[in-house]
């Protein structure tokens, strides 16, 4: 079993706001990319030091700073200082075991999210933490690793005719979250396929492996549920428009995501009920098999035990057993035994055991 936890024991007793990276240790350098755009102009570049992004803070264009890797806490610290982010938020960004959450400040909104995705190689669900800082004209996104979840959005930004270029930073944040929710749908489809495979096995030849597969699926759904449930709250809070940073025209988009998360949660619920049903079928097919075996044993036993008893009788060594001397004693005994066996078989037929 993969552990549910990333170890955080090291943090006990440390002051809040201490930036300690929690997650898998890494050595790769952090990759920082900046995209700056408005309806007319577009600029995209990779920078080697975070300071180069700072000039975009107060520009009127929309700026998207994406940081792949949160293990170099000094970068996070510098961002925090320049954009005046609360230390607790920075701590959440680098601790990749956070529960999805939203914090609304006057100057910015911080959003911690989870992207669950299916790792085809390891046949596992992985969960990547993504943090967003949404300011008035900028979005800063932090990912644990360099993954390509956001590539489609970059594609759309690069083209002048997509409506995304006309909207502000809040809409950019929406598209980033939308991608995350779409990834959940993809994951659900993967699980749906898995479920179909299991079900076919279940109706064919269920084995111990089928049981483990069912339980594995159940656990995967548990994981997924744990990411989506708080996501619902986060999106709901954005949709209700508790911050002026979210424009009214953008709210309907967040509401759309909200509906999608509900849809996902309902599907997870349905999946779980179906898995319970599959467990029932598995267990009763076990019982059925045992039943069948015992019935077979019973039939064999019931037919032969009386016959063997009869052979036992004529195997006794009494001096005076008249049947033994009969000429037809042997064939009569054989016929008698055959008769008993046939009667038994009729009886079982009548009892629907055969």
Binders of its own copies in range 212-241 (CB under 8 A): 212, 215, 218-219, 222, 226, 229-230
Task: By CB under 8 A, name the one of 20, 300, 335, 343 that touches its own copies.
Answer: 300
240/234 Cα distance (integer angstroms): 10
Q: How far apart are CA 26 and CA 23, in angstroms?
A: 9
- Work out whether 138 is an interface residue with its own copies (CB under 8 A): no
- How many residues belong to the site for its own copies (CB under 8 A)? 118
Q: Of 164, 232, 236, 243, which one interacts with its own copies (CB under 8 A)?
A: 164
Of 265, 155, 149, 286, which is closest to residue 211 (Cα–Cα)? 286
354 near its own copies (CB under 8 A): no
Quick one: which of 156, 87, 81, 142 has its CA closest to 114?
Answer: 142
If one asks whether residue 179 binds its own copies (CB under 8 A), the answer comes out as yes
Stretch that binds its own copies, among 8-16, 34-42, 77-85, 137-145 (CB under 8 A): 8-16
Quick count: other Cβ atoms within 10 Å of Cβ 224? 23
Instruction: State how far the alpha carbon of 125 is from the alpha carbons of 11, 129, 186, 211, 273, in Å.
Output: 26, 13, 12, 19, 20
Q: Toward its own copies, which CB reaches closer, 44 or 192? A: 192
Among 51, 158, 330, 346, binds its own copies (CB under 8 A): 330
- Report the alpha-carbon distance of residue 32 to residue 68 in Å, rounded: 6
Site for its own copies in 240-299 (CB under 8 A): 252-253, 255-256, 259, 262-263, 266-267, 270-271, 273-274, 277, 279-291, 293-298
Q: Which of 3, 237, 213 is nearest to 97 (CA)?
A: 3
82-121 positions binding its own copies, by CB under 8 A: 86, 88, 98-99, 101, 103
Point out which span in 30-38, 61-69, 174-182, 237-245 binds its own copies (CB under 8 A). 174-182
- Helices 208-239/169-203 angle, 10° precision: 160
Residues 23 to 82 in contact with its own copies, rule: CB under 8 A: none
């Amino acid at each position: 079993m993969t552990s549910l936890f990333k170890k955080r024991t090291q943090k006990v007793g440390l002051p809040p706001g201490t930036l300690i990276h929690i997650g898998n240790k890494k050595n790769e350098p952090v990759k920082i990319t900046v995209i700056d755009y408005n309806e007319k102009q577009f600029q995209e570049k990779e920078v080697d030091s975070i300071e180069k992004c700072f000039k975009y803070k107060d520009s009127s264009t929309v700026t998207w700073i994406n940081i792949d890797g949160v293990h170099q806490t000094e970068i996070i610290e510098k961002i925090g200082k320049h954009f005046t982010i609360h230390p607790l938020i920075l701590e959440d960004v680098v601790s990749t075991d956070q529960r999805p959450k939203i914090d609304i400040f006057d100057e910015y909104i911080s959003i911690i999210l989870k992207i669950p995705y299916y790792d085809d190689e390891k046949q596992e669900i992985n969960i990547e933490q993504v943090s967003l800082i949404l300011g008035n004209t900028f979005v800063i996104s932090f990912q644990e690793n360099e993954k390509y979840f956001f590539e489609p959005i970059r594609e759309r930004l690069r083209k002048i005719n997509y409506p995304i270029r006309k909207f502000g930073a809040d809409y950019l944040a929406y598209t980033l979250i939308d991608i995350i929710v779409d990834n959940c749908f993809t994951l659900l489809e993967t699980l749906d396929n898995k479920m179909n495979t299991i079900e076919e096995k279940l109706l064919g030849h269920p084995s111990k492996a089928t049981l483990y597969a069912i339980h594995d699926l159940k656990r995967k759904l548990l994981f997924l549920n744990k990411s989506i449930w708080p996501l619902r709250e986060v999106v709901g809070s954005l949709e209700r428009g508790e911050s002026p940073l979210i424009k009214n025209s953008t709210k309907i988009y967040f509401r759309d995501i909200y509906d999608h998360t509900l849809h996902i949660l309902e599907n997870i619920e349905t999946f779980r009920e179906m898995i319970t049903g599959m467990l029932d079928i598995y267990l009763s097919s076990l019982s059925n098999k045992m039943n069948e075996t015992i019935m077979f044993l019973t039939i064999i036993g019931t037919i032969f035990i009386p016959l063997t008893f009869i052979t036992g009788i004529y195997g006794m060594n009494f001096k005076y057993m008249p049947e033994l001397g009969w000429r037809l004693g042997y064939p009569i005994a054989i016929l008698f035994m055959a008769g008993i066996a046939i009667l038994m078989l009729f009886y079982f037929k009548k009892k629907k055991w055969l």
